[in-house]
Homo-oligomer: A and B are copies of this chain.
Amino acid sequence: MKRAVVLVSGGLDSATVLAIARGEGFVCHALSFAYGQRHAAELEAARAVVRAFGAAEHRVMPIDLAAFGGSALTDPGIDVPEAPTSGIPVTYVPARNTVFLALALAWAEVLGVNDLFIGVNAVDYSGYPDCRPEFIAAFEALANLATRAGVEGARFRVHTPLIDLSKAEIIRRGLALGVDYSITMSCYQPDATGAACGRCDSCRLRREGFHAAGVNDPTRYAR
């Protein structure tokens, strides 16, 4: 029985990753983080995504990155940009994927699991450094040195099935696997009803992805 730890944020990408991991026959241990993000809608979406595709279990771990701040996603005092910016945007959360993968690794080692899945993408993305293939390769190298399992010969693998796909390709792949994107939440600042803003970087990439894929966009936008 193949088992994997799958990071599930509730967004479009990680929903697709969970569908891919399930499609490849992995029994999935889903992991989400209440990391101080601006809204709870993301975690509600994560729960819905896990329910839809099934997992051996789903953990939502609190980890207060908002105590550090330094990002529009964790500090209410920093506005989410509503137009493309140059360079790495202020929605970058310092070392977030390093922290998330470190915790996924900890859980994986306890479970005796060597396979991790994460929905990073380096094509239609915001330029976050911890979404690039070289970051993932460095984390795999670290994982094998950091752990008892690695010392004893296990080889951790961080699966990144989306890393070189366009957003449109991700959407087509997910639809073929039966993903219902209406239950996912990509927006950085949904309103109180859970409607997406349609203006943040994440909404823009998502909306353009549906358009480029030539399929209906099921997202409920605030306007």
User: What is the size, in residues, of chain A's interface with B at 8 Å between Cβ atoms?
Assistant: 43
Pick from B92, B141, B145: contact of A129, CB under 8 Å:
B145
Cβ–Cβ contact B98 & A105, under 8 A? yes
Chain B residues lying within 8 Å of A97, measured Cβ to Cβ, are 146
Cβ–Cβ contact B95 & A102, under 8 A? yes
Is residue A107 within 8 Å, beta carbon to beta carbon, of the partner chain?
Answer: yes
Q: Mark A122-151, 1 if CB is under 8 A from B, else 0.
A: 000000011010110011011101111011
Closest chain-B Cβ to A41's Cβ sits at a distance in Å of 23
Pick from B65, B139, B145: contact of A106, CB under 8 Å:
B65
Is residue A221 within 8 Å, beta carbon to beta carbon, of the partner chain?
Answer: no
Cβ–Cβ contact A145 & B138, under 8 A? yes
Q: What is the chain B residue whose CB lies nearest that of A129?
A: B151
**What is the copy number of this chain in the assembly?**
2
Which one of A6-14, A55-63, A191-199 contacts B? A55-63
Chain B residues lying within 8 Å of A96, measured Cβ to Cβ, are 106
Is residue A70 within 8 Å, beta carbon to beta carbon, of the partner chain?
Answer: yes
Pick from B61, B94, B106: contact of A110, CB under 8 Å:
B94
Closest chain-B Cβ to A95's Cβ sits at a distance in Å of 4
Pick from B92, B102, B135, B143: contact of A145, CB under 8 Å:
B135
**A99 to B104, alpha carbons, bound, how many Å?**
10
**A94 to B154, alpha carbons, bound, how many Å?**
14
Mark out the residues of chain A between 80 and 101 whose CB falls within 8 Å of any chain B CB in the assembled complex. Answer: 88, 92-99, 101
**A101 to B97, alpha carbons, bound, how many Å?**
13
Question: 3 nearest interchain CB pairs?
Answer: A70-B110, A95-B106, A94-B109
